[in-house]
């Protein structure tokens, strides 16, 4: 029997529902249960693929090619369960599906309304196949209770609570307990009002997960329990911790998983095995040293834009028992050729992440050249690889006009859309009416690695599968000249057409990949490329 846990949020946004959901899933896993996590997003976009990273953070891509909310990255990293397209839904996709059915006449002339048509579609999504023998499905509802766009989702889960009954449905509400320094008190009123708002739409939470920066006095827990109609033991302290990977153990210590199991009347569950989480925490808090990585991108003022990359760097540190300090560096400042690169002094490696557009691109190429000439470990991902190839084509292979057609017409399209590849000719004009949400290579694709290459040694195999998200490709028509200049194309698509990985032959560690390896990195299984990159940075720092 599959049970459903609904996680809602109140008071303010950015309380960490994604981390809380992922940690809850990890705790149930540690007790031997099989879990799946899903995210319901109330915004009208069909998916986050066309949304600015400044507004929404990174776009997380699944193996089956779905562009999803970044919280699905937390779910995967905490549980190791690969997300699917069916694990993230938006209001936009719900309405798109309903309107398509209405246009086909599937509703037989009925008047289409929020209730029951929209709420039924949401319920169908929640209950859709969770997978074989899944014990718990955890559903996070995006936004904050009281948001007008979230009302259909709250109504849908309210109905599900009634239909499934308490033996199969549990509501957890994440809220905030602010401390007011002037009053010297922790205030419970925001939580009381948030729960009142939730109850006004028919949802009584069974468990309150209270974010705070200090211990909650027992008197305050009692007040919250009384006014919010929950058991005192169901008021769970979610105090700030040193690192997100401390969260599962912290929540267990406060009794979160115990309360969930009590609600479902499960009294024979084994205690959670948190050994690996404790080992991770020990490595994070007691490392053998520290390395500094310069992450050079144009959204560095929005850390969530590079969430998976930052986490994968942490995982690489775990594999090498070092702390990774990530220095966020705005690539746009380096577009000015005269701007000094002295901010890179002291970094032990640079990472050039994915991205789009010309802004900040020249700066990334300057950093790639800096790393190449200084023998500094450099990791180019997606756009970072493409720009590294353009820079090498210009300065090593002699193609002074080398560029990417993403910038506009060029006589040397070293990077371009596949249909544009005509070496030495002007780019083919794209159809300006192209649907921007459907023109990418998305999801998992295989690649074949060259025998004896550095990446083949790192992976320990010559056949890999990695997740992609990009429109442009490195032009394989330039491979011969580039290899003669010292750029090795160490990984290709199985048909030999699409370059997947480059590495510099005479450099201690300079690798570029067309895919996004950060999407498959886990704290317990660091991605081999990130583990190797941090190892190279560790050597650069003279820790070894």
- Rounded Cα distance between 17 and 20, Å, is 5
429: number of CA atoms within 13 Å, CB side? 3
427 vs 61, higher pLDDT: 61
The phi and psi torsions of 30 (rounded to 5 degrees) equal: -65, -20
Given a cut of 50, whether residue 426 has pLDDT beyond it is no
Q: What pLDDT score does 419 carry?
A: 64
**Range list for CATH 3.40.50.880 in the chain:** 287-428+440-540
Q: For residue 315, which of 467, 460, 459, 522 has the smallest C-alpha distance?
A: 522
Q: What pLDDT score does 438 carry?
A: 46
Q: What pLDDT score does 183 carry?
A: 86
Given a cut of 70, whether residue 176 has pLDDT beyond it is yes
Q: What is the average pLDDT score of the chain? A: 93
- Fold entry, domain 3-280: Rossmann fold (3.40.50)
Q: For residue 123, which of 152, 84, 82, 80 has the smallest C-alpha distance?
A: 152
Catalytic residues: 382, 516, 518
Q: What pLDDT score does 200 carry?
A: 95
- How much of the chain exceeds pLDDT 70, in percent? 96
Q: What pLDDT score does 420 carry?
A: 61
Report yes or no: 443 and 358 within 8 Å, Cβ to Cβ: no
For the structural domain made of 287-428+440-540, what CATH number should be given? 3.40.50.880
- Rounded Cα distance between 485 and 500, Å, is 18
**Range list for CATH 3.40.50.300 in the chain:** 3-280
Q: Could you report the per-residue pLDDT of 439-469, keeping only the tens digit for each? A: 689 999 999 999 999 999 999 999 999 999 9
């Amino acid at each position: 029997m599959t049970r459903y846990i609904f996680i809602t949020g109140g008071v303010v946004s950015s309380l960490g529902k994604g981390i809380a959901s992922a940690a809850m899933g990890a705790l149930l896993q540690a007790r031997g249960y099989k879990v799946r996590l899903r995210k319901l997003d109330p915004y009208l976009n069909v998916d986050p693929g066309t949304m600015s990273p400044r507004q929404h953070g990174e776009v997380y891509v699944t193996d089956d090619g779905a562009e999803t909310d970044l919280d699905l990255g937390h779910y995967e990293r905490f549980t190791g369960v690969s997300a699917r397209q069916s694990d993230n839904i938006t209001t936009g996709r719900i309405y798109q599906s309903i309107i398509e059915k209405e246009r086909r006449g599937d509703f037989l002339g009925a008047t289409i309304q929020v209730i029951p048509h929209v709420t039924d579609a949401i319920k169908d999504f929640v209950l859709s196949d969770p997978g074989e023998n899944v014990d718990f499905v955890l559903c996070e509802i995006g936004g904050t209770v009281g948001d007008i766009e979230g009302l259909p989702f709250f109504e849908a889960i309210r109905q599900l609570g009634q239909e499934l009954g308490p033996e199969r449905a549990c509501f957890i509400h994440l809220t905030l307990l602010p401390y007011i320094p002037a009053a010297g008190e922790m205030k419970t009123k925001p939580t009381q009002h948030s729960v009142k708002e939730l109850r006004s739409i028919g949802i009584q939470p069974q468990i309150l997960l209270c974010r705070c920066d200090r211990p909650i006095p027992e008197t305050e827990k009692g007040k919250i329990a009384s006014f919010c109609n929950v058991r005192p033991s169901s008021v769970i302290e979610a105090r700030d911790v040193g690192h997100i990977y401390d969260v599962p153990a912290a929540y267990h210590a406060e009794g979160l998983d115990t309360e969930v199991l009590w609600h479902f009347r499960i009294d024979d569950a084994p205690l959670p095995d948190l050994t690996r989480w404790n080992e991770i925490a020990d490595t994070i808090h007691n490392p053998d040293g520290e390395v500094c990585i310069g992450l050079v991108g144009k959204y560095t003022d929005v850390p969530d834009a590079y969430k998976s990359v930052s986490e994968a760097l942490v995982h690489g540190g775990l594999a090498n028992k070092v702390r990774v300090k990530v220095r966020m560096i705005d690539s746009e400042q380096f577009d000015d050729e005269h701007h000094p690169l002295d901010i890179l002094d002291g970094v032990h490696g640079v990472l050039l992440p994915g991205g789009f557009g010309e802004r900040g691109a020249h700066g990334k190429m300057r950093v790639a050249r800096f790393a190449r000439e200084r023998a500094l470990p450099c990791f180019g991902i997606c756009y970072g690889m493409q720009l590294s190839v353009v820079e090498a084509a210009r300065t090593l292979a002699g193609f002074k006009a080398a560029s990417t057609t993403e910038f506009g017409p060029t006589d040397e399209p070293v990077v371009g859309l596949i249909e544009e590849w005509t070496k030495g000719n002007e780019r083919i004009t794209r159809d300006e009416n192209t649907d921007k949400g459907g023109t990418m290579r998305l999801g998992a694709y295989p690649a074949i690695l060259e025998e004896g290459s550095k990446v083949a040694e790192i992976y320990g195999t010559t056949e890999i599968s990695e997740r992609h998200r990009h429109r442009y490709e490195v032009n394989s028509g330039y491979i011969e000249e580039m290899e003669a200049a010292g750029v090795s194309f160490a990984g290709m698509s199985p048909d030999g057409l699409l370059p997947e990985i480059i590495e510099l032959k005479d450099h201690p560690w300079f690798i570029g990949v067309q895919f996004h390896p950060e999407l498959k990195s886990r704290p317990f299984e660091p991605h081999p490329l990130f583990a190797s990159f941090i190892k190279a940075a560790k050597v650069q720092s003279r820790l070894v």
